[in-house]
Amino acid sequence: MSACRVPRRLASHRRTALLATGAALAALTLSACGEGTSGGSEQTQFVEGKDGVDTVAKKDRKAVPDISGETTRGEKLDIADYQGKVVVLNVWGSWCGPCIAEAANFAKVANETKAKGVQFVGINTRDSQKSQAVSFEDQHKMPYPSLFDPTGKLMLRFPKGSLNPQAIPSTIAVDRQGKIAARSIGPLGEDELRKMVQPLIDEK
């Protein structure tokens, strides 16, 4: 008699859930390290900027989902703890060329804006080992933590119709009220990143 047998009905439900998750992740993988498509599967009320940064009017913003878990260095992190700060979420992977290209820009702007109430948080994805991510962080002197999300589950938590991440790298800016305010798909330069964050710093 075999141990740990899964009931047939439960196994079927698990297979269905895994297939659904796999399909969603496959769609993200197709746009990895490249440009994605704007918007979500429902109508979004965002303004597509000429600099590649999409923004949402304050009244139309959607709440950021539960983005929490363990960091690349084994610590617990929940972005809800940063309520009252502007939070910049950057989806990246150590294997991703554009992520490498933008790393220095993120490190510099994160250091510049920390005293202004801005908290950067990375979401490391598709690295199979934490050591790969940690090596990247050390090499590029990243001054902020990153959640370890090897299978991309955190990215799938973003609500339909919001400015959700659709490529790697993607950057999401969250206002002080915990709502999604801006998104960029693809790598960002220093000036582009500053232009994305500064309006949220200035908001009252």
Q: What DSSP assignment string belongs to 29-41?
A: HHTBTS---SS-S
Q: Give the 3-state secondary structure of residue 124.
A: strand
pTM of the model: 0.79
pLDDT digits (tens, 9 = 90+) for 111-165: 999 999 999 999 999 999 999 999 999 999 999 999 999 999 999 999 877 898 9
pLDDT digits (tens, 9 = 90+) for 66-79: 999 999 999 999 99
Displacement of CA 87 from its chain's centroid (Å)? 11
Q: Alpha carbon of 173 to those of 55, 96, 111: distances in Å?
A: 9, 21, 16
- For residue 138, is it left (φ>0), alpha (ψ between -120 and 50) or beta? alpha
Average pLDDT across the chain, whole number = 82
Q: In degrees rounded to 5, what are phi and psi of residue 179?
A: -115, 145
Read off the tokens for 65: 């989902």
